[in-house]
Chain A
Amino acid sequence: MLALIPLFPLLGFVINAFFGRRLSQVVSGGLASLVMLASFAVSTMVVWQLAGLPADQRTIEQSLYTWIASDDFNIALTLRVDPLAAVMILVVTGIGSLIHIYSTSYMHDEVDSEYARYFSYLNLFAAFMLILVLGGNFPVLFVGWEGVGLCSYLLIGFWFKKKSASDAGKKAFVVNRIGDYAFILGMLALFTRFGTLDFQRIATIVAPLAPETGFGIISVATLLLFIGATGKSAQIPLYTWLPDAMEGPTPVSALIHAATMVTAGVYMIGRNAVLFSHAPETLAVVAAIGAATALMAGTIGLVQNDIKRVLAYSTVSQLGYMFLAMGVGAFGAGIFHLYTHAFFKACLFLGSGAVIHALHGEQDIRNMGGLKRHLPITYWTFLIASLAIAGVPGLAGFFSKDEILYETFREGHTILWVIGILTSLLTATYMFRLVFLTFHGERRHDAPAPEHPEEQEPVADDDAHRQASDASHRPAKDELHRPATGALHRPAKDALHRPASDAFHHDEHLHDAPPAMALALIVLAIGSVAAGYIGLPHALGGQNSLAGWLRPSFTGAATLTAPEGAAPEAASAGEPETGSAAEAGSLELTLMVTSSIVALLGIGIASFIWLKRRQIADAAAARLSGVYQLLLNKYYVDELYDAAIVHPIRVISTEGLWRGFDVKVVDGAVNGTAAIVSGGAAVLRRLQSGSVRAYAGGLFVGVVLILGYYLWR
């Protein structure tokens, strides 16, 4: 039963991968969406079944077979669904299927084989993501972990003929490797400490322990795991791959880099809540990193001009939120935000995708504007999602974000709370900057979007591809080194983003999202509105059902019947009947008010600047050009890494390893061997005189010598 959930997408992947080039778009796309829907149906059934169980033993486990069996290292391929996993599989399959449907029309300009390839990747990703979520122990989770990494690489580099895309893919992959390395180390540390890698067992072992003080092995292990998480979920210091990942098709960005994969880190921490909660130092680190990331990404997002990049940074910052929640021990809140964020961020990405689609690959918001008229559906859904993310009361983002802030404050991390508030202000601001610049005002054509006919088709004949690649390679560099002029190159480059289509376009030629896209948009928009209410806090008369639902997963009480509140954070996360319910409620209310005020304030600022007085922005940019450049270039982090890590490594491997070791030592050894052999042969060749008698003589000398030896011995 459980196995079916990942198996359906896997089936789709297999079919699309092997027979895709013979299938028509309708078939392959329809198939892909269908398997996702099937998987979704199965997941719902599973969750239903799970909900039927009593609260303290809500877990369904299925052990497929013994995967690794070394003497004391036994790993079964275990799938296990518990409340946390239930939420995740619903998100993954649900939103996943929506995005599949969306993609069917978004990618329809690809040639059939590419189309099938795209969907096979997408299905594969879904399968791996589900394995990640359902994995009952670390190795299985790690399989999914690596699998989604692979798929994200494949999908980011989907238009691999374009250098920037393939580079971005590589970057994502490599950066993730760093995290994965730490992750593996963490796993090993855990194994050495606990002798098992099964989540529940670890939780069972850890739960009775007292939270360790100072850096014990748990702290180290969890820290390592968290580094892995930063890699996967784009936190400081490993977040830099995510913005570049926007090279991939927009639905991919929506699915992988907003809704599901990037939340894997959060999920992983939630999965090991018990473990993490026993390592306060780690938690502190997590919280700090989360907050810092949130703030930093927010600031960067404030000035980016690429619609997708803005969204990417907002994703990073929202992920920061989640980690903040995890760090302060509000696991429920973190997952809650994850869940809501999945909706509105997916919606936002899809919306931006619709915009890009309508504009035939235009991504620079400075070349947009006034699209409200042309793309009503897109506009409204986008607006709703923006409101949600901005945390306007009554929408999904509001509840989750507020819960995070509330928990943060209640846990006493005032600074972090301030940062959070600040970030939410920034969030509101840059989101609405995006909205206003994109949809309001007049359409701007100041930066021309040149059309190179031979560059529209990523899969073009060779010289077209060459021109395309270098035409896109140049801006990729400029973007790093000459950001000011980078803006000029972007359209040229983004002309390549767009799926191949008719070359010319006019305003009246703009068309709104086609039905499939529209469906996905609307559903997600509704989700962004409604998703929050399942976590309605007590302060608003709700009984935070999601937190209650998730609690067992965090207490580790899912299997062992541990007393309630064995893990304090869970108790505080969802125990309305504690004595301090009243003042807790009042505090929460006040915080809500503040944050909603902040949100509205942010929206106000945004409307004031980018709707009324647009020159203020330019003036500010001009006056604070230093800051502006700093932000525009993302704090020069890429350059920093480039100088600090990439370049030294390149130099070492070029000069030391290649020119030094490989050429001198390895090749030297090989050639030396050959030289020795040939030299020796040149000498020995004299022995092969061809004169039979000489050979006989040698033989005979041997006879005499041997005989002599045995005689005179």
Chain B
Amino acid sequence: MAETFAFYLFSGLTIVASALVIGQRNPMYSVLLLVASFGAMAGLFIQLDAPFVAVVLIIVYAGAIMVLFLFVVMLLNAPQEDALPYDHTHPFRHPVLMRFGGLLAVLLVVQLSYALLRTRDLHVAVAGRSDASVVSSVAELGRVLFERHVFAFEATSILILVAMVGAVVLARRESGQQ
């Protein structure tokens, strides 16, 4: 009972927050709402016996990445989405197509739900072995991460390094400019 309530609470929060992120014209609010949705999603993760993931999500996403976004928003200080008129020179930039994207998204939802409804055996397939202890133990996570996925781990570390350098190079204003 309680967990059902929690689930609907958290998922509802997540969805609403995300929807508001999309519906928001002010990026500042969007960022904050996204943080909120992350918090709710962390709740979902905790409910899925993945507290570690939840906390990591908060630390990394909410604590670092979102702050970065916040910085950029504050730095550029371009709060309102500029209503730059569409140029109709190109068919692909017609407003209708923008809406068309939304239509596609709805279509995707329909498809996915249909797919879910069709897969009856989903629960059966996994119902049998669902003990929380396996997935919730951080030690187990660490073991798997650093033993079986160690190469991927190193690769991502290199990726991070490269991204860091790239970001610095990109954001540094060239000597030519002002």
Contact = CB atoms under 8 A, between A and B. Distances in A.
A693 interface: yes
Contact of B104 (A689, A691, A700): A700
Interface in B99-122: 100-101, 104, 107-108, 111-112, 114-115, 118
A691 B90 contact: yes
Contact of A691 (B92, B107, B111): B92
A692 to B, nearest CB: 11
A694 B107 contact: no
B83 interface: no
A689 B90 contact: yes
Nearest to B92: A694
A707 B92 contact: no
Contacts of B92: 689, 691, 693-694, 697
Contacts of A205: none
Contact of A697 (B104, B111, B112): B104
Nearest to B105: A700
A268 B115 CA distance: 86
B125 interface: no
Nearest to B107: A704
Main secondary structure of the interface of B (DSSP, over half): helix
A1 interface: no
B143 interface: no
B145 to A, nearest CB: 30
A490 B119 CA distance: 101
A704 B93 contact: no
A710 to B, nearest CB: 9
A711 B111 contact: yes
A694 B108 contact: no
A701 interface: yes
Interface in B41-86: none
Contacts of A697: 92, 97, 100-101, 104
A691 B84 CA distance: 14
B98 interface: yes
Contacts of A657: none
Contacts of A694: 92-93, 97
Interface in B122-168: none
B111 A707 contact: yes
A704 B101 contact: no
A691 B112 CA distance: 28
B96 to A, nearest CB: 12
Contacts of A696: 101
A703 interface: yes
Given A689-B90, A691-B90, A711-B114, A703 B108 contact: yes
B51 to A, nearest CB: 33
B104 A704 contact: yes
Contacts of A711: 111, 114-115, 118
Nearest to B112: A707
A691 B101 contact: no
Interface string A681-713: 000001001010110110011011001100100
- The 8 A-B residue pairs with the shortest CB-CB distance in the complex, in nearest-first order: A694-B92, A689-B92, A689-B90, A707-B111, A700-B104, A691-B93, A704-B107, A691-B92
Given A697-B92, A708-B111, A711-B114, 10 more contacts: A686-B90, A689-B90, A689-B92, A691-B92, A693-B92, A693-B98, A694-B93, A697-B97, A700-B101, A707-B112
Interface of A: 686, 689, 691, 693-694, 696-697, 700-701, 703-704, 707-708, 711
9 contacts: A691-B90, A691-B93, A693-B98, A693-B101, A697-B92, A697-B97, A700-B104, A704-B104, A707-B112
